[in-house]
Each structure stands twice: as C-alpha cells, then as structure tokens.
C-alpha cells in the first residue's frame, strides 16, 4: 500500500465518523480551527456556550454524579432518552474540541434509550442498576458493528471480523447501561500520547497544548469534559492511570484477570504468555462511580461465562480496615526524580493524610528501583518474537507517530530480539522485585502504599516518555488507583534547577508549561487486594479533596 493509499483510507474513515454528528450538533469551522493543539487554553466550561445543549441538558451533564442520575432515571425525573441525548451531544462537542472519540454510537444509543424508557414504563422497574447510563469505551474493546482500530490504519474495516461484544460490554448492557462512544488511543496503544493517523491527536481539555496521556487518553479527556461520567480503559504499563494523571480524573488498574478483559481487538499474545497483562479497568469523574463499576461488574454471575480467564472472586463488601491505616510512602525514587510540582504535591498530600485521624505515615527507603523495573516491564512488553506491533504498522505502510518513535529510540529492547534465556531471566528478576515489595509490606505492617503516578504533571505533546511510576505496579501485579489532588503552581514551584525525566529523555521542567496542571497521588497494594485499595482510597479522597468545588 502506498503512502497515498493509507492516507486516503485514513481520511475516509475519519470523514465517515464525522458525518455521524448531526448537523445541529456541529461546531462552526472557525471555532474548531481556533481550538487546536497549539492553543494554550482550557475548554472546560465551553460546552454550554455553543447553543447545542439546552438548559436541561446542561443540568443533566453537569449537575449530578452518575449515581444521582441513575436515581433520577429510576424515579422518572429524567427519561433515559433525555440523559442519552444530553451525553451524546456533549460527547459530540467534546470530540470536535479535543479529538477524544473514534466511533460514535449516537443512533444506536438513542434507540436503546427509547427501549429502556418503554421497559420502565411497561414494567415499573429498571432492567438493572445502570439503567439508562451512557458509558464510554476505549477503542480497543470490541463492539459488534464498529471498528476497533487500535489506531492502526491496517485495522480499518475490521468490524466485519468482530462477531461479538467484548465481555465488559456484554456485562454493561445486562446491567442496563448504554455505550454511546468509543474513545481515542495512540497507534499500537504503547505510547503515552493518544495520537494516530486516523483520528488525530487527543487534546487535554485543561490545556490543549498538553498531552491527555495514553493509551486511554480519549477516555480521560472525554470524562474530564463530562461527555461521559464513567468509562472503561485498559492498562499494561499505566495506560488508564497516565491519562487520569494528565486530565485529573480517577483511574483504577485492577489485579490481573480480576476484571473481564476478553474482547480486546489485539489478542495481545503477551496476555497469555507473560505475567504482564493488558488489564481492563474503570475510569470516572468521581471515586464513587469507579467503586460502583467494580462492585456491579464483579457481582454479575455471567462474568465468568463471557471471559474464560476471569477470576471468579466475589467483591468483598465486608472488608474491615484498621482504625489507623499505615501508609508506606514512596516519596521519590532517586533514579526517577520528581519535578518540582509533583514533589510538592506528594508532600502536601502526605501531610494532609498524616494530620488526619485515619492515617499513620511510614516513609519507605529500601524499595526496588523504578527505573530498573521499567526496563523489566518493557522487556516483557516487547518480548513477542513475531513483533506483531511492527507487522500491523507495516501492513499499511503508515508513518509512525512521533511519540512512538521516541519510545522505540529510548528502549533498546524494542530493537534487540529477546532470547529464551532472557525471558527466563525476566521472570527471575520480576519475582525478586515482587518479593522485595511483599517483604516491605510485611516488615512495616503496611495497609497501603502511596507513590507518585508520574514524576511530572501533564507535559507537552509527545514528551511524556517512559512511565516507571505506573509500570512498577503492572510488573508486580498490584492493583493501583489514581486520585486527583492539587495542581502545579508556578508561583510556588520555582525552577531552581533543571530536572530531567527518567533516562534523561524528552523534557526539562518548565513551570509555565505545567502551570495549573492537575496533581495526583497513587495508591496500591498486594495482588487481589483490590477492595483494600478502593476502600482506603475512599477515605484518602475524603481527607484530600472534600469539600470539592
């Protein structure tokens, strides 16, 4: 396929999706040209100014949590159709501003919403606890009738090969939910910058010149704009937590196989051959919604039927926590120094937790190197001898996006074929790292670990680099949660010295770039202790973020 061919195919695909936005929901061309990746502005708050959303739709999309909306649908304050229409409109505006969506299921969404309203009217009850709630889904998860491109031009048209919905989609439908859009990703889903040659680059709605993260960047961008209150992403090295960091939303990486993952477009040979798995997990505007998505999905008895790899472990609603929660704090890894905003934000978060009556702080010193462990993780991620990632790229002849090129150049394992002996050594090294963390937890009697999710807040496009602060927990399979907290402040975070990111790559600290970017903390704990992380996360979130504006 020639360059002209792949470009035409990609262009035609994008145009076919854009045509699904009703004329009355479209922004004027001059507006779309104004808001682009070179415009250092936030689009938060703009959605209600274009005359597309009426007052009731603004109220629906901005005035309630997901749980509150569900109650109002059940008590008939709002119809499912009203809610679905409002979120479809808002998603349409969001993707025109930030390129956050790939597939638009508007027609199907409104038809399902009408059916749900008819069911409620005829039967007097909802069909499930998520009755009528629009939920967004990462592009990589299959939905019958729609492409799952994973950003590859060569995957355009693969809807003809998608015979069934992903396991999580089936379960959401059974719970009464509606899927209204699929969201944007980077080509290959290996980069922390959600750009591809089909749909373009996803922008951070807080500052369009900054990355929205990846690979679930479209999800985080859409959720931050309240074009969806809950979404589903995937995470193999931080792919749902990095966007949560960049856009200031909540993201949870469950333990391997604890959440249904069958039905990802790339069957990821790595999922079945290594301990590093592309985990499916929830993202949300608030932590309550994220918790709900874990409990409801894991309580569905059909989850094991739809996903043969699913660990059928019922959600523990009766977890008892100690009166004083011992928090092991990783303030910073010497090999991956924190830039000034994140160092301050982590210290402020720890102080707030320490000052509360719920937490006791223990500063950890002797922990594994995050830089070293990123190398192990990346060894697994690039261990496929068939190199299917490169095969999928070369099928179309498409250009490799900049952030992916930088990632390839910065990680030699992508260029050097892994041997059988190398693979065994990876396993031995990984085992030692996990044992090290478990010893720390046991020796210090820890109930949770707190660490950064990144050494920096959201950086410029194509400069995120490696992700050791999230990748560590993929390597050892610890469930981990991103909680937004604080923001970069140029008046405080003085540029007293230039701090480079891991491996010396990509970007020095620039206080002007980071100004106002959201901060965060990351909580994690032992494998299959997902409930512990989320329960403690609820307590920490109340201490750190209430009352929220």
Exactly one of 13, 80, 136, 138 is catalytic; name it.
138
Exactly one of 136, 154, 215, 467 is catalytic; name it.
215
238 is in an annotated binding site: yes
Give catalytic status of residue 500 as yes or no.
no
Contact by Cβ (8 Å): 457, 488: yes
Give catalytic status of residue 239 as yes or no.
yes
DSSP state for residue 285 in the 8-state scheme = S
C-alpha angle 443-447-449 in degrees, rounded to nearest 5: 85
Residues in the chain: 549
189 is in an annotated binding site: yes
63 is in an annotated binding site: no
Q: Helices 420-443 and 468-476: crossing angle, nearest 10°?
A: 90
Distance of alpha carbon 322 from alpha carbon 307, whole angstroms = 34
215 is in an annotated binding site: yes
Report the phi/psi class of residue 368: left, alpha or beta, with left for phi > 0 and alpha for psi in -120 to 50: beta
Exactly one of 80, 136, 239, 396 is catalytic; name it.
239
Distance of alpha carbon 97 from alpha carbon 46, whole angstroms = 10
Distance of alpha carbon 178 from alpha carbon 80, whole angstroms = 9
Q: Helices 420-443 and 370-381: crossing angle, nearest 10°?
A: 140
237 is in an annotated binding site: yes
Distance of alpha carbon 327 from alpha carbon 359, whole angstroms = 7
Q: Which distant-in-sequence residues (6+ apart) come within 8 Å of 105 by Cβ?
A: 143, 146, 179, 180, 181, 182
Contact by Cβ (8 Å): 261, 309: yes
CB atoms within 10 A of CB 443: 10
Distance of alpha carbon 7 from alpha carbon 397, whole angstroms = 10
358 is in an annotated binding site: no
Q: Which distant-in-sequence residues (6+ apart) come within 8 Å of 302 by Cβ?
A: 170, 171, 174
Give catalytic status of residue 215 as yes or no.
yes
Closest C-alpha among 3, 99, 114, 97 to residue 47: 97
What would the DSSP string read from start to end of 211-231?
Answer: B--SSSHHHHHHHHTTS-SEE
Which residues are known binding-site members?
189, 215, 236-239
Active site residues: 138, 215, 239
Which residues are known binding-site members for substrate?
189, 215, 236-239
């Amino acid at each position: 396929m020639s360059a002209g061919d792949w470009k035409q195919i990609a262009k035609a695909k994008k145009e076919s999706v854009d045509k699904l936005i009703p004329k009355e929901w479209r922004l004027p061309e001059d507006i779309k040209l104004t808001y682009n990746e070179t415009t250092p502005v936030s689009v938060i708050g703009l959605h209600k100014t274009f005359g597309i959303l009426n007052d009731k739709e603004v109220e629906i999309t901005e005035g309630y949590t997901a749980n509150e909306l569900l109650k109002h649908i059940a008590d008939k304050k709002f119809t499912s159709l009203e809610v679905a229409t409002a979120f479809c409109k808002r998603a349409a505006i969001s993707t025109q501003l930030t390129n956050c969506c790939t597939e638009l299921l508007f027609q199907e969404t409104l038809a399902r919403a009408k059916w749900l309203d008819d069911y409620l009217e005829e039967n007097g009850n909802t069909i499930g606890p998520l009755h009528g709630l629009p939920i967004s889904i990462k592009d990589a998860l299959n939905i019958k009738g729609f492409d799952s491109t994973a950003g590859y031009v060569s995957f355009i048209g693969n809807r003809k090969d998608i015979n069934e919905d992903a396991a999580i989609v089936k379960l959401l439908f059974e719970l009464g939910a509606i899927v209204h859009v699929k969201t944007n990703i980077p080509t290959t889903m290996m980069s922390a910058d959600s750009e591809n040659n089909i749909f373009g680059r996803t922008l951070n709605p807080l500052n369009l010149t900054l990355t929205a993260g990846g690979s679930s960047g479209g999800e985080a961008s859409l959720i931050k704009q309240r074009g969806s209150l809950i979404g589903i992403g995937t995470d193999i090295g931080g792919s749902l937590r990095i966007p949560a960091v960049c856009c200031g939303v909540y993201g949870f990486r469950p333990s391997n196989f604890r959440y249904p993952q069958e039905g990802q477009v790339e069957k990821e040979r790595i999922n079945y051959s290594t301990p590093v798995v592309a985990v499916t997990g929830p993202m949300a505007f608030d932590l309550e919604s994220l918790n709900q998505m874990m409990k409801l999905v894991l309580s569905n008895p059909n989850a094991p039927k739809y996903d043969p790899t699913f660990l059928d472990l019922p959600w523990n609603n009766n977890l008892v926590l100690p009166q004083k929660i011992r928090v092991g704090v990783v303030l910073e890894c010497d090999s991956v120094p924190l830039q000034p905003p994140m160092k301050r934000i982590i210290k402020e978060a720890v102080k707030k937790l320490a000052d509360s009556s719920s937490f006791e702080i223990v500063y950890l010193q002797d922990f594994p190197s995050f830089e070293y462990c990123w190398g192990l993780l990346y060894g697994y991620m690039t261990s496929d001898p068939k190199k299917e990632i490169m095969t999928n790229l070369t099928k179309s002849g498409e250009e490799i996006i900049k952030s992916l090129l930088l990632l390839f150049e910065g990680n030699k394992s992508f260029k050097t074929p892994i041997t059988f002996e190398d693979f065994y050594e990876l396993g031995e090294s990984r085992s030692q790292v996990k044992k090290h963390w478990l010893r720390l937890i046991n020796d210090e009697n820890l109930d949770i670990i707190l660490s950064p999710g990144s050494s920096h807040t959201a950086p410029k496009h194509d400069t995120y680099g490696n992700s050791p602060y999230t990748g560590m927990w993929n390597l050892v399979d610890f469930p981990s949660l991103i909680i937004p907290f604080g923001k970069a402040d140029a008046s405080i975070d003085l540029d007293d010295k230039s701090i480079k990111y891991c491996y010396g790559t990509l970007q020095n600290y620039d206080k002007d770039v980071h100004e106002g970017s959201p901060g965060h903390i990351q909580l994690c704990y032992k494998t299959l202790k997902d409930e512990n992380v989320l329960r403690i996360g609820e307590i920490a979130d109340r201490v750190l973020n209430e009352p929220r504006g």
